[in-house]
């Protein structure tokens, strides 16, 4: 899902606040009245509220549509066949007009009065401002010890898998924040489950992050939709971002492709050279095994690891050039691999398979670095007028 510019806007809309709802019939009227009272003092006539409902069985969407008669600044989207908090928020952002995109829960657990402090931070120049439970003035009301542990546990897991992103703020689990539209322009947002903020932190071009403390309130009506599935979605989301974000993510993809190549290499080496199979000479078997592994790796790297660069050079000729360069780099790596294998095997008497593993590990780092700089380097053609 792509966030685009708000070029078509008629009047100046500064804030688009998205309210994702599912079975919030008992909360939505009070929330809208509190939000409009507050925002009419902070940015009168310059904001819009967008409720995105997923066909709630309690007819939240119907109540919301009736509210639009009273509140012209309110829009309602009812999604028939989709479910999910994060995708609902993005759906709202996609149709919004505001320079600043916001999200707040519909169940009054996110105190509306915090909006004024969030907006102050935007006015000061922040790109992203997050309502946080873990800074001064923040907290949770009567959360059970289990819920506190689960929330903190999720944060620690995020810090282990994605330290560079989750570590940017004190409450990455927050579902209450504002972000400037231009920070997300052109970003392909495709989050999983509940944690839209992690996707924004990972994909957005965000320089200035600010945080505002708030106390997460007790829900008075209805119940939380958080389920065990959301925790699995969260982990999948973290792993997917880990694999897709930054050069470290690219190296992990390259290493995973290399792992598939090791499997191809070992299988062919076993089939050709093992005394119990064809018992061909070790070096010749190794060269054939490695070449097949190289072709396997090129195909996967061209589509997945370096796919973003490769698609800028789509022609068959360019692809063939990449294959040749990749092969040359890997052949150099192969020579290094065979040398290292023989040194470890013959000089240091290391078991052949362990020796092969050590050799492959060293050569993988060589292959990654040289291929990044040589085979897939995106040659931006600068037209010298």
| SS3 state at 29 | helix
Hey, which residues between 195 and 234 contact ligand GDD (CB under 6 A)? 216, 224-226
Choices 46-54, 237-245, 257-265, 302-310 (CB under 6 A): range interacting with ligand GDD: 46-54
Which CB sits closer to ligand GDD, 237 or 253? 237
Torsion of the alpha carbons at 350, 356, 361 and 364, rounded to the nearest 10: 150
Partner whose binding site includes residue 376, from Mn ion, ligand GDD, none (CB under 5 to 8 Å by kind): none
CB-based contacts of 111: which residues, under 8 Å, 6+ apart? 214, 215, 217
Query: Is residue 172 within the footprint of ligand GDD (CB under 6 A)?
Result: no
Output the six-digit token pair for 205: 């071009």
Among 107, 121, 199, 265, binds Mn ion (CB under 5 A): 107
Residues 292 to 351 in contact with ligand GDD, rule: CB under 6 A: none
* 225 vs 352, beta carbon nearer Mn ion: 225
302 binds, among Mn ion, ligand GDD, none (CB under 5 to 8 A by kind): none
Nearest distance in Å: CB 27, Mn ion: 9
For 249, counting Cβ atoms within 10 Å of its Cβ (0-12 exposed, 13-18 middle, 19+ buried), the class is middle
Task: Find the length of the chain.
Answer: 385
Whole-Å CA distances, 308 to 189, 221, 246, 250: 16, 46, 12, 10
Q: Which of 112, 175, 204, 333 binds ligand GDD (CB under 6 A)?
A: 175
Cβ-based neighbours of 245, under 8 Å, separated by 6 or more: 162, 165, 202, 203
Q: Which does 16 bind (CB under 5 to 8 A by kind): ligand GDD, Mn ion, none?
A: none
Interacting residue with Mn ion among 23, 27, 109, 114 (CB under 5 A): 109
Query: In the set 39, 49, 50, 54, which binds ligand GDD (CB under 6 A)?
Result: 54
The count of chain residues that interact with ligand GDD, using the rule CB under 6 A, is 24
52 binds, options ligand GDD, Mn ion, none, Cβ within 5 to 8 A by partner type: ligand GDD
Is the separation of the CB atoms in 235 and 157 below 8 Å? yes
Distance CA 328, CA 321 (A): 11
CA distance 282 to 342: 10
Tell me how far, at minimum, the Cβ of 381 lies from ligand GDD, in Å: 44
Q: Within 10 A of 85 (CB to CB), how many other CB atoms are there?
A: 22
**Residue numbers 231-250 binding ligand GDD by CB under 6 A:** none
Report the nearest approach of ligand GDD to the CB of residue 377 (Å). Answer: 40
Q: Using CB under 6 A, pick the residue from 3, 20, 90, 289 that binds ligand GDD.
A: 20
Q: Is 52 in the site for ligand GDD (CB under 6 A)?
A: yes
Dihedral in degrees, nearest 10, Cα atoms 255, 200, 89, 309: -50
Closest distance of CB 103 from Mn ion, Å: 13
3-state DSSP percent of the chain in helix, strand and coil, to 5: 55, 10, 35
At closest approach, how far in Å is the CB of 24 from Mn ion?
9
**Residue 109 in contact with ligand GDD, rule: CB under 6 A:** yes
CB atoms within 10 A of CB 81: 6
Give the integer Cα–Cα distance in Å for 36 and 14: 14
- The three-state secondary structure class of 88 is helix
* Least Å from the CB of residue 244 to ligand GDD: 21
Q: In the set 16, 73, 174, 297, which binds ligand GDD (CB under 6 A)?
A: 174
- Taking contact as CB under 5 A, which single stretch among the options 100-108, 110-118, 343-351, 373-381 is the one that binds Mn ion? 100-108
Query: Which helix (DSSP H) or strand (DSSP E) does residue 299 occupy?
Result: helix 282-300
Q: Which is nearer to ligand GDD, 125 or 167 (CB)?
A: 167
For Mn ion, the binding residues (CB under 5 A) are: 107, 109
For ligand GDD, the binding residues (CB under 6 A) are: 20-22, 24, 52-54, 83-85, 88, 105-107, 109, 173-176, 194, 216, 224-226
């Amino acid at each position: 899902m792509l966030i685009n510019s708000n070029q078509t806007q008629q009047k100046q809309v500064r804030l688009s606040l998205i309210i994702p709802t599912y079975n919030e019939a008992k909360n939505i009227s009070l929330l809208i009245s509190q939000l409009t009272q507050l925002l009419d003092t902070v940015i009168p006539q310059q904001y819009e509220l967008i409720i995105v409902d997923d066909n709630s069985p309690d007819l939240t969407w119907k109540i919301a549509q009736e509210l639009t008669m009273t509140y012209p600044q309110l829009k309602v989207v009812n999604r028939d066949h989709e479910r999910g908090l994060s995708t609902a928020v993005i759906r709202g952002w996609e149709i919004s007009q505001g320079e600043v995109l916001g999200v707040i829960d519909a169940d009054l657990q996110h105190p509306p009065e915090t909006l004024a402090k969030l907006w102050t931070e935007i006015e000061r120049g922040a790109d992203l401002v997050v309502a946080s439970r873990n800074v001064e003035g923040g907290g949770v009301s009567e959360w059970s010890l289990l819920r506190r542990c689960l929330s903190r546990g999720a944060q620690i897991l995020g810090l282990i898998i994605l330290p560079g992103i989750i570590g940017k703020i004190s409450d990455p689990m927050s579902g209450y924040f504002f972000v400037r539209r231009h920070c997300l322009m052109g970003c392909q947002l495709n989050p999983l489950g509940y944690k839209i903020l992690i996707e924004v932190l990972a994909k957005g071009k965000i320089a200035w992050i600010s945080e505002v403390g708030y106390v997460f309130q007790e829900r008075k009506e209805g119940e939380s939709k958080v389920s065990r599935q959301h925790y699995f979605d969260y982990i999948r989301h973290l792993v997917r971002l880990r694999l897709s974000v930054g050069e470290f993510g690219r190296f992990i993809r390259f290493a995973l492709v290399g792992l598939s190549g090791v499997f191809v290499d070992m299988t062919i080496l076993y089939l050709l050279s093992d005394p119990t199979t064809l018992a061909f000479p070790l070096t010749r078997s190794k060269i054939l095994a490695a070449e097949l592994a190289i072709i396997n790796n090129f195909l996967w790297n061209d589509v997945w690891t370096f796919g973003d660069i490769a698609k800028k050079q789509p022609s068959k000729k360019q692809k063939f050039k990449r294959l040749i360069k990749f092969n040359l780099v890997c052949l150099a790596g192969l020579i290094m691999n065979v040398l290292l294998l023989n040194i470890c095997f013959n000089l240091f008497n290391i078991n052949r398979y362990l020796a092969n593993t050590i050799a492959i590990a060293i050569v993988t780092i060589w292959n990654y670095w040289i291929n990044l700089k040589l085979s897939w380097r995106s040659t931006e053609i600068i037209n010298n007028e």
